A and B are shown apart, each in its own frame.
Chain A
Amino acid sequence: MPEDNQQTEQQLSWPERLAELANSSNDERLKRFYEAGCVDADTAIKDVPMVALDFETTGLDPNQHSIVSIGLVPFTVDRVMLSGARHWLVKPALPLHQTSITVHGITHSDIDQAPDLNEVLGDILDNLKGRIPVVHFRAIERPFLNVAMNWRTGEGITFPLLDTMAIEAHLHPDRSLNFWQKLLGKQPISIRLADSRSRYGLPHYPPHNAVVDALATAELLMAQMRHHFSPETRIGDLWL
């Protein structure tokens, strides 16, 4: 699975990079997005506007699979605003696999009516701009959006994000079991979205709907911050 390595390549700080991209970008929509910029790395997490983001895709490889739906919910560590929740179905460039239908429940007839990503891109980016996206498992949303935009506009996209799964992984470094623990039938700690949520007493939400998954991710981040981080934590220590 291709893990994006933007973090290691990065020389400039995120606000500087976004400012630079705002200058070099040729796409109006993308330009608007970059111009909104992002908060300074020293900003306390309690003051950061965020947006939980989730894609349903036809598979896990951004070079072979396509986005079928996008959900987002704006929030801060204090509260989620459902009034800002948005959801888009988009027509995948590649045919819909039968196997992926069973996962996210989006069918061919749903997709037939849906617009191409290009038609709703401006709307989507306007809802993301100025906020730090939060995802659960960073190998999906940013790489998929990067590839999809490259293909349509000749320009990729990048932005800082928070990954609730990476935070869980950081909190539970010794997840694999040793021989004795396996022998004793212990279960490894799972950092999947639903399992992580249950550790914080968050309710079960039905999975595989982009808005609900985004909401679930936003709530998980709020809970992680309450339990393990000070509200004064620098966003620069968390974003990837």
Chain B
Amino acid sequence: MQAELIEIRNHMVQHAPFDELPTEMMDKVVAGIEITYFQAGTDILELGQNNNYLHYVRSGAVEIFRRSGELYNRVTEGEIFGQIGLMMNRTVRFPARAIEDTLVYQIPFELFQYLLQSEEFTDFVEIEDRSRLRSANSRREKSNQLMTAKVTRLINRAPVIVPNTVRLQEAARVMTEHGVSALPLMDESGDKPRLCGIVTDRDLRTRALTHALPSETPISDIMSTDVTTTHSNAFIFEAMLTMLHNNVHHLPVMDGDTVRGVIALSDIIKHESQSSLYLVSNIYHQHDVKGLKKLSKDVPDTFVRMVNEDANSHMIGSAMAGIGRSFSQRLLELGEEKLGPPPVPYCFMALGSMARDEQLVVTDQDNAMVLDDSFIPEEHDAYFKALAKFVSDGLAECGYTYCTGDIMATNDKWRQPLKVWKEYFADWIDNPKAEALLNSNIFFDLEGIYGETRFTDELQEFVAKRASGNPRFLAMMARNALGRTPPLGFFRQFVMEEDGKHNKTFNLKRRGTAPMSDLIRIHALACGSRAQNTFNRLKAIGATELIPEDGVDNLRDAFEFIAIVRIRHQALAIEAGRKPDNNVRPEDLSPFERSHLKDAFQVVNQAQKFLRFRYNAGAVRNA
């Protein structure tokens, strides 16, 4: 290559996949480039035409079309097109047209073949953008033990089980003899034995010994029924979430009705030094707000450690939500210790990201209380108000700042009996008003985290039934969901905003994960799903024919990618001693991330268009 043509090489190596190629390779390629110029509006590649070049856009913008004529992609400075046809008989599969005056560097077929010697290049071109995103996500997950290992790997003995008819002392003897800390109990009265309960070391201590129960007591008197289990196909990661979620330390692993074994929290900790579990179990050992506050200082470290261990966004989001939930639960326990038992049953409800299991480190508290319908404000509210304040203040101490929108149980409006909550939801759904729905959006991600969770189950059921049959509500929600668009300009460049420090950034939450969870929520509501987590919602949507099948996969991949970039951005900030935020400067991203983010934002873009069309969101007027 003429040394003077270095300018051309320098431009190319700023862009994927050329940024990963060796210099000698790039020199050889640049020396063989042919340059062409296309006026805006002219065809570059026509369907079926013979094409012998890989096209690199040096300046300008190009639209790529499907065979049907439908717009497939926009390609701009630093991006390539034409590769699919090159790999398929050198015949154009996706026609291309210049939409601006465009200068194209063309790489002849022989050099394209030469480039295919590079694995990085081959990876990049073989899989077009959507699937490119998928492989980007999975490449990362491959290295992840928790994701790939099944729970059965933690079971290395035949199950130790006894019939539920044994006596206390016999149960204790079996546990000691086999060195187990939990014992599944089988009901053998039917055709085949069924799991009907479990006792743990802790149960023996707290329920039997402290009350000096006689050794002949039937074990069924102290066992826990309603056993939380996992199935033998579950990943260790899923088992870990189940434990976090239900605050149990032992999980029987089931093969249908058969107990395969029991895994304990300590087994998982041994398997993967997953510190979020230590943190959670420590939370329950704290006896005052001061202790919790001290512990909360470890939360960012736990977050960073999970990121560095290459956990995916679902794991991190669930673990952080689990931690937040544990802080809330422990504060409620402490509150009840202080204020006495509640005068009527109640449920403490998480809203927004915690309910979705998608919490990160920068988060405020969004919560509410659902009270039993026997609630009489004059008699009972003083108690719940005080409890709500105790929890809310405690959470604030632990770094979960007060909700600026006052969506907290301390707000009288959000501390109401179940019947009032149903009226709220009925009103939101039956008389949808755009403005009001913007504010109540957050209530459509709800989960009971303490107390009578049947109340919140009932609410979820209520919402799922009511929302799916109400097109006007869905249209209004859809319209609101279109208010925040991905930061991608018409020509696929990033659209930046200025942050407080005059940096050009874009907000990965406001312009990325939030619009996505908004639009996925609407599809989930439309198909009557009770799922709250975005990935679970996508699963539920995938089971219907609401959106095309690859649409679900694309959304999942895009969401995962945007979420993980956001998570890594925050982890980097924490490690650098800065306050984590959601504002990303494009220059802080790798070319790989930039390229895939554009793909992901493109998916959001398409999904928003579909949403508008599917729910007729363009046509709704405020009633």
Contacts and interface: CB of A to CB of B under 8 A. Distances in A.
Interface string B409-437: 00000000000000000000000000000
A226 B35 CA distance: 14
Contacts of A206: 7
B556 to A, nearest CB: 37
Contact of B32 (A75, A82, A203, A223): A82
Interface stretch (B100-108, B502-510, B547-555): B100-108
A197 to B, nearest CB: 10
Chain A, interface residues (CB within 8 Å), range: 20 to 34
B2 interface: yes
Contacts of B5: 82, 85, 211-212, 215
A79 interface: yes
Interface in A63-96: 71, 75, 78-83, 85-87
Contacts of A85: 2, 4-5
A222 interface: yes
Contacts of A211: 2, 4-5
A201 B101 contact: yes
B453 interface: no
Contacts of B72: none
Nearest to B11: A203
Interface in A213-240: 215, 218-219, 222-223, 226-227
Interface stretch (B36-44, B143-151, B376-384): B36-44
Contacts of A78: 36
B39 A80 contact: no
Interface in B1-51: 2-5, 7-8, 11, 30-40, 42
Most buried by B among A71, A78, A81, A203: A203
A106 B511 CA distance: 49
Given A201-B102, A203-B58, A222 B34 contact: no
Contacts of A202: 37, 59, 101, 103
A210 interface: yes
B60 interface: yes
A82 B4 contact: no
Contacts of A79: 34-36, 106
B233 to A, nearest CB: 55
A106 to B, nearest CB: 12
Given A79-B34, A201-B103, 12 more contacts: A79-B106, A80-B35, A82-B31, A83-B31, A201-B102, A202-B101, A202-B103, A203-B58, A206-B7, A215-B35, A223-B37, A223-B101
Interface of B: 2-5, 7-8, 11, 30-40, 42, 58-60, 100-103, 106
Identify the 9 closest CB pairs spanning chains A and B, nearest first.
A201-B101, A80-B35, A211-B4, A203-B59, A222-B37, A226-B39, A82-B33, A79-B34, A79-B36
